Amino acid sequence: MKAEEAGQSVASAAEVVRLEAEKEALRRELKELKGRKRGPAGRFRRWTAGLLVVVSCLLLVLGATGIWAYRTIFNTDKWVERVAPVVEHREVTDALSRRLTEQLFVLIDVEALTTEALPPRAAIIAGPLTSAVEDTVENGVSDVLASAQFQALWIEANRVAHQQILAILRGDSEVVQATGGEVSLNLLPVMNAVIGRLETSASGLFGKEINVPEISNGEVPAEARQKIEDAVGVDVPEDFGEIPVYQSDALSAAQDALGTLDDVMLAVIIATPLVVAAAILISGRRRRTIIQLLTGTLLGLVVVRRLVIWSQDQVVDIAREENRGAVRVAVDDLMSSFFSISAGVIIAGLILLAIVVVTGPYGWAVSLRRHARDATVSIWGAVTNASQGEETASWIRAHRDLLKLAGVAFAILVLLLFDLSWAAFLAIVAIVAGYELFVSRVGGSDPAPSVSEKPA
């Protein structure tokens, strides 16, 4: 009994010390608030701090978005890393197959082929024979697009095109003179591979035996087209084997815009930490200012995410109807990193915001911290000292519904925020189920009768 009374006395003394410390902290904050100037200088300080908070939020959102853009859109290696996997989607390969098949028929005289292959009175089967030729070409294109050779050619074609676009926008006069300010995805090596595949599988499809030329990734498109013309003996259009990806009718305006963006981003990177620091230093209530900074930045990121989604829809809508699926896949793959990174930043910001708010001097926050501390002490006491088990069980019984609801809320939050594998999902389910069972068993049991309550 004396040991229990001594323990309670020590706990009471610790509680008194804690309350005194909290009271002293509140007294200092109240003194600081009362000591602030309330005249014109005080109002100027508050308005200035508010303005700096708004500017800081704009700079933080602009800086985060710009850094992502420079690391992804204006970085050739990152661009290729994001764009290369799009050909794994059926929508993209179907669109490429249609484009290449249409252009290949420039090299094939289907009418002459069927006329030579059929006797004069067999015109009735010309239609099925034409369909068979089309199927042969489509199958040849599909075989090449499914090969490892195409994967390498696709990556290199995107790399060269992206480098050309950047060179044009950065004002490289040699590239501008060579391309005329327009850039196309050079698929002539892919087209050449298809011609080789068809010549092997369907000899005579081109009306004669041809020697397939060698065309490398870095070869000038005009020279590559000339090789194909010489081999097949057919003139091809200027856009043969190419897909336009950049056509600038206002090249100088685009170059000026990128130059301005470079200057703006440099200014943003330099100014952001200075403005944020100034907003916090000039504020009379710095915790509130930090909360405002976090809240404004998070809202800004949410708005930017919505604008990006709207822009994606606009890009898809202006594409040709048969290619919209491919465009949607390409845009989604390119922007997926932005959504992943921004979601991570938002989650981290929410956690930091919760920490700043909960650790504040607000009455409800102080009460919440006290209840959390008491719960932690009770649970730890139950683990380390069996004699305190009944006290812990009593506390769990008193808060059983709230504890069970917290477990469910935790599970829902984890499932919403994280893309879990099946193993992780089952692990979360098992943990939450065990937690709920523990709370139900402990919180639903009746307290054990004391010695004095036992029947004689």
Give me the half-sphere count of Cα atoms (radius 13 Å) on the Cβ side of residue 22: 16
Distances (CA, A) of 435 to 292, 415, 427: 36, 17, 12
Amino acid letter, residue 423: A
- Pairing, β 182-186 against β 242-247: antiparallel
CA 349 to CA 295: how far, in whole Å?
8
Whole-prediction pTM value? 0.63
Q: Which residues of the chain have pLDDT under 50?
A: 1-3, 121-126, 386-388, 448, 450-456
Neighbouring C-beta atoms of residue 260, cutoff 10 Å: 10
Write out the two tokens for 185: 């995805």
**What is the per-residue pLDDT for 246?**
65
Euclidean distance between CA atoms 377 and 228, whole angstroms: 81
Q: Give the pLDDT confidence of 110-155 residue by residue, as tens digits.
A: 666 555 555 554 444 445 566 777 777 788 888 888 888 888 888 8
The sign of the torsion formed by the CA atoms of 268, 272, 278, 284 equals: positive
- Three-class DSSP category at 186: strand
Q: Which tokens belong to 76?
A: 């050739």
Query: How far is CA 319 from each of CA 323, 328, 379, rounded to the nearest angstrom?
Result: 6, 9, 61
Q: Would you tell me how many other CB atoms lie within 10 Å of the CB of residue 300?
A: 18
End-to-end C-alpha distance for the chain, whole angstroms: 24
**Cβ contacts of residue 3 below 8 Å, gap of 6+?**
none
Q: Which 3 state secondary structure label does DSSP give 185?
A: strand
